[in-house]
Structure 1
Amino acid sequence: MKYRNAAMAAALASLAAATGAAIVTGSASAASTGCSVNYTVVGQWAGGFQGDVKLTNLGDPLTSWTLTFDFPDTGQRVEHGWSATWSQSASRVSAASMSWNGSLRTGASTTIGFIGSWRGVNPIPQSFAINNIPCTGSVITPSPTATASPTPSPSPSISPSPGGPAPKLRVSGNRIVTAAGRPYRLLGVSRSSGEYACVQGKGQWDFGPVDQASVDAMKTWNIHAVRVPLNEECWLGLNGTPSGATYQQGVKEYVNLLVANGINVILDLHWNWGAYTNSPEWHCKDAAAVCQKPMPDARYAPQFWTSVANTFKGNDAVVFDLFNEPYPDMPAEWNKTLGWQCLRDGGTCAGLPYEAAGMQDLVDAVRATGATNILMVSGLEWTNDMREWLVYKPNDPLNNIVASWHAYSFNACANESCWDSQIAPLAAQVPVVLGEFGQDNCGYDYMDRLVRWADAHAISYLAWTWNPWGCTGGAVLIRDWNGTPEPGVGEGYKAHLLTQRP
C-alpha cells in the first residue's frame, strides 16, 4: 500500500531519537540494568495505524517487565494490542508482559504490537522505559568506578521481497535446506479455493486472480511460500468444473508463476472421495470430494499422487503435503493407537466405511515416479496431535520427509506448554512445517505467540488464509486481492513476515 514505505521510512528515521544510553548508579552488589526499544510504524491509514515495539534487555535477566512510553499527540491512542497487557491513561501507555514472554535473559528480545488511532498527526514516541528504567540503549554494572559503555541498539530486520526463482529444497537432519545447503523456512500463507471451487460452480480459484498482480500483492507481505489445496476428483477428471486436464493445467500455471517469483509452493490433497456415513450429524456424509474426510482413500489417492508427482517431478521447489488433516482417531472412538496405525498403514480402519490409503501408500506412490520432492506427513486429530509421529513415520528411501502440523487457537495443543512438550522434541529430530494456523477471532494475539515460538524453534509456518472472505470468526488475512490486510489478524501477521528471512 502507498502509505507503508513512507510510514516505515519515517519510523526508521526516528529510531535514533528513541535510543541512546541509560546509566544507573548504585552499589557493586546491585543488579545491572539497561534496555533498548525499537518502535516501528508498520502501516498507517486514515485515522489508524499499527505499531510494533521490540524490547531488548541489556541488563541482568528479568522475570517480568512493564514497558511505558508517552504519545506525543493527544489524539494518539492504543485501541487493542497483542503479546502484552496494554493500557493507556491520558498520553501514558503501559504494556505488561504475559506469562510466556516475561522472562528476558541478558541480550534477549521480544516484540509486541498494537493497533492505534490518531487525529491530525501521528508522531513517534521519543522515550521509553522498562520497569521504570529509561531505555536508551546501554547498560552499566554498578560499582564505585563504573562507567557506561554505549551499546548499539538493534535495528529492525526487514527482509526484501523474494527475488529470482524459488530455491530447490531438501531435508538435512532437522532442517529444510536449499540445494546449496542453506537452512530455509517455508514462511507464508495458504491460498484456499483449489479444493472447493471446482465442485461448487465457482471455477477453479473461486473467481480470484492467479496473475502477476496477485503474486506481487503477496510479495509486499514478504511471503516466501504458498500452500495450494487441491481436489482429488477435479485433478483426476472424475468430478467438477473445471476438471481433468483443464484443472491440472490451471494448477501448473499457478505453480510455475509462484516459483518464478521466488515463492515455494506446497500442494496438498485437501478434499477426496470417501463416504464417512457413520459420522456425527455435523459431518459431511457425501462420498464425492465435496468436503473434508478423515483419511485419503485407497481408490483414488495413490492415483492422484502418482499423477501430481509425475507432473512436478524435477521441480524440487514444490513440496507435496500428502493429506491435509487426518482424523482417523475420531472414527476409532479416539483410540490413538488404532488412529496412528490407520494413518500409516491405511486399509480397513476402525469406524471408517471406505478403504483408506495410509501415508506409506502415498509415499510409495510418489517415490515410484522418481520424484524427489519433499513430502509433508501429518499427525492425528486434524494434524494437531503429533505425539507419536516419530514412532509411526512412514519409510522414505530418500529420507526427505517433514512433519506437517496444524495449530489453531481452538485445538487441544494451543499453548506454549504443549508446544514445548510435544512439538519442540519433534522439531529437534525432523523439520516441522506449520501448514495451517489461525485463531477463532480476528485478533492476532494467539498467532503472534505461535509464530514467535516457531521462530525460536526454526519451524516453518503458513497462515490460513489468503482469501478476502471478510474476517468475522478469524482465519482470514486480507480484505481484497490487492493484499490489504484485515485489521488485527492481517496487519499483525504482515508486520511479522516483514521482519523474517526464510
Structure 2
Amino acid sequence: MRHPPRSVLLTAAGTSVLVTGALVPVAKAQGATPACTVAYSVTNQWAGGFQGSVTITNNGPAVSSWQLTFDFADGQKVTQGWNAAWSQSGATVTAANESYNAALGSGASVTAGFLGSWQGNNTVPTVFKLNGTTCATGGGPPTSPPPTPPPPSGTAPALHVLGAKLVDASGAPRRLLGVNRSGGEFMCVQGHGIWDGPVDDAAIKAIADWKANAVRIPLNEECWLGLSDVKPEYGGANYINAVKDLVTRVEAHGLTPVLDLHWSYGQYTGNSAGCSDVHATCQKPMPDAQYGPSFWASVASTFKDDPAPVFDLFNEPYPDRATSSTTDAWKCWRDGGTCPGISYEVAGMQDLVDSIRNTGSKNVIMAGGLAYANDLSQWTAYKPADPAGNLAASYHGYNFNTCASESCWNSTLAPVAGQVPLIAGEIGENTCAHGFIDQAMKWFDDRNLSYLGWAWNTWDCSSGPSLISAYDGTPTAYGIGLRDHLRALNP
C-alpha cells in the first residue's frame, strides 16, 4: 500500500520498542585528539553468522578517499557488505570508500555494514587503521560473543508448500487470514520511533481476538541494516531486536508473522515515483542490488531456525511504470540488473530468493507481481526458481486497482493459484465500507486461499485505509467487514 501523507499517519507519537545494541565504546583520547575514532558493533548474531557495523569519524583534516583496515582474531570471514568496498586477505579486512562516500570532511562520520561468518569465538577487533593511521577505539571489548538467542517457542505452526497449498508440519492445510501491522517501514526512517502505536502483548491479543491467524509486518531496509541516515536508536541492533521481539509475541498467540521488505534504497524519479529521495523513505519500483540481498540474507539468517515466519520479498513492485515494455518489466522483476527507466542497479526476485536460500533458510517465500502486486498475468512464466520448493505468489487487491473484479481474478489469479499457494498480502478499500473486500474474501474463501487486510493502524479509513479506530481492536466501519468475516470463519 502506498501510504498517506505523514500528517495523516502521525496524529500522535508512536510507541517504540528499543533494545540496546552491542556497541563497543569509543575511548576518549588523553591529550591530543586522535586522528580518527572507530565504533564497531555486532548488531545481530546467530549460530555461525553475524551482522557487523563500523562507524568511522575523521577527527583530522578532510580526506578525498578513505580505507579502513582491521584484523579478525578467530577466523571470522566477511561474506558481503554495504556502504564500502569490502575485501579480506587472511585475517585482515579492508573497507574502502565507494564513489558516493569518498569525501570525509573534518569531524564527519560514515557507517558501513557487513555480514560475516564465525565459529567458536567472535572476538571484537581492537585495532583499526584509517588510511594507515591507528584510530582511537573502545577499551576492554568482550572476548566472547553474546549468546545466540533461541528460536521463538510460541505456538505458530511450521509452514511449507505442498503442491499449490500451504500446510503445517502435519500436512494440514493452513490459510493465512489476518491483518497488516504497518509502522516498521516508516517510523524509523522518519525519526519518530520503530512502531506506530503499541505492539505489546495486549495489542497482539487484540488482533488474535478478531480470529486472525497471521500478521504481516512491513520493514525498512535501511533501518534493519543500520545505515547512517537512520537514527541509531531506531536502526541496526535496536531495530532488529524490536522486530525479533514482535515476531516472538505474534507467534506466542499462534499467529504467523509475514516479514515484508516495504521501503528500500535507490533513487527513482520516473513515472509514479513516490519520492525523489535515494533513501528508503517511500515505495520504490524494485528492490536495489546494493542493499536488498544483504537485507534478506540478514533477515533469513536471523529467522532460519524458526519455520513459522513467511518472507514477503518486496511489497509492491512496479517496474512496469518505468518502461512501456511488458516483457522488459517482467524480466526486470525476475532478473534485476540494469532495468529500463530505473537509474539504480536492481535486485530481481531471483536475486532475493538466492540470498535467502544461501543462508540455509527454508522459510516460505512470497513474491508479488507487477503493478503494485496487482498484476499476476505472467507470474508463472517468470517465477523465480526456488531450490526449497517453498514459493508462493502474492497479490494486492484494492477497489481502485485494475484487477479488482471476479472476471480478472478468474482469468489471472486462478491459473496462478492452480500452481502455487496464492496469498493476498493486502486487500482493502478507500470507501470506509467493506463492499469490495466482502466480494474479494468470498472469492478467496471459495478457493481456500489466503488474505490479509490493510491495515491494523488508527488512520483515517478513507486515506489509510485503517481497520481500527483504537488499538484495543475497536473496528472502523471498514474494519467491521474483516473482523466479522474472520469470526464467522472461526467462531
> Which band: TM-score by shorter chain?
0.5 to 0.7
Alignment partners' CA distance in 2, 1:469 and 1:187: 21
Provide the secondary structure at the position in 2 that maps to 1:199.
coil
Q: Distance in 1 between matches of 2:155 and 2:315?
A: 26
1:446 to 432, 436, 444: 436
User: Which deviations, in whole Å up to 9, do the C-alpha atoms of 1:218-243 show, x marking residues without a partner?
Assistant: 11100100000000000000032300
Q: Distance in 2 between matches of 1:267 and 1:284?
A: 23
Alignment match, 1:269: 261
The Cα shift of 1:164 comes to 6.3
Rounded Cα–Cα distance in structure 2 between residues aligned with 1:211 and 1:244: 21
Counterpart amino acid of 1:307? S
Residue 216 of structure 1 is aligned with which of 205, 212, 216?
A: 205
Q: Distance in 2 between matches of 1:181 and 1:440?
A: 37
Task: Write the distance in 1 (CA, Å) between the matches of 2:464 and 2:258.
Answer: 22
C-alpha separation between the residues in 2 aligned to 1:321 and 1:198? 20
Which residue type is aligned with residue 271 of structure 1? W
1:300 pairs with 291, 308, 322, which one? 291
Q: Does the residue aligned with 2:327 lie in a helix, a strand or coil?
A: helix
Amino acid at match of 2:211: N
Local SS of the residue matching 1:197: coil
Contact 1:226-1:265 within 8 A present in 2 as well: yes
Task: Give the structure 2 partner of residue 251 of structure 1.
Answer: 243
Once the two structures are TM-superposed, the CA of residue 474 in structure 1 deviates from its matched residue by 5.7
Identify the match of residue 445 of structure 2 among 448, 452, 455. Answer: 455
Sequence identity percentage: 52
1:176 maps onto 2:166 in alignment: yes
Following TM superposition, by how much is the alpha carbon of 1:471 offset from its aligned partner in structure 2, in angstroms?
1.9
Q: CA deviation digits over 1:180-222, x for unaligned, max 9?
A: 000000100000000000011220002x111111011111100
1:215 partner letter: I
Report if aligned partners of 1:192, 1:465 keep a CA contact under 8 Å in 2: yes
CA distance in 2, matches of 1:431, 1:353: 33
Q: TM-score, normalised by structure 1?
A: 0.66
1:369 pairs with 2:359: yes
Contact 2:275 2:282 in 1 (8 A): yes
8 Å CA contact 1:438–1:474 kept in 2: the answer is no
Aligned to 1:288: 279
CA-CA distance at 1:277 after TM superposition? 2.7
Cα RMSD of the aligned pairs, angstroms, is 1.4
Aligned partner of residue 233 in structure 1, secondary structure = helix
| Matched residue, 2:480 | 491
CA distance in 2, matches of 1:167, 1:234: 28
CA distance in 2, matches of 1:230, 1:467: 15
Partners in 2 of 1:442 and 1:247 — Cα distance?
Answer: 33
Q: Secondary structure, in 3 states, of the residue corresponding to 2:373?
A: coil
Q: How far does the alpha carbon of each residue in 1:426-448 deviate from its partner, in whole angstroms, 9 at most, with x for none?
A: 11111000001111210100110
CA deviation profile, 1:398-435 (whole Å, cap 9, x unmatched)? 11100011011100000111111111111111100000
Which is higher, the Rg of structure 1 or of structure 2? 1
Q: Aligned pair in 2 of structure 1 residues 283, 215: CA closer, same or farther (>3 Å)?
A: closer
Question: What's the CA shift for 1:460?
Answer: 0.4
Equivalent residues in 2 for 1:336-485, closer than 5 Å: 336-473=326-463, 475-485=465-475
1:283 CA displacement: 3.2
Letter in 1 for 2:316: E
Provide the TM-score with structure 2 as the length reference. 0.67
Read off the aligned partner of 1:336 and give its amino acid letter: T
**What are the equivalent positions in structure 2 for 1:7-156 lying under 5 Å apart?**
none
SS of corresponding position for 1:404? strand
Q: How many residues align?
A: 336
The code of the aligned residue for 2:241 comes to Q
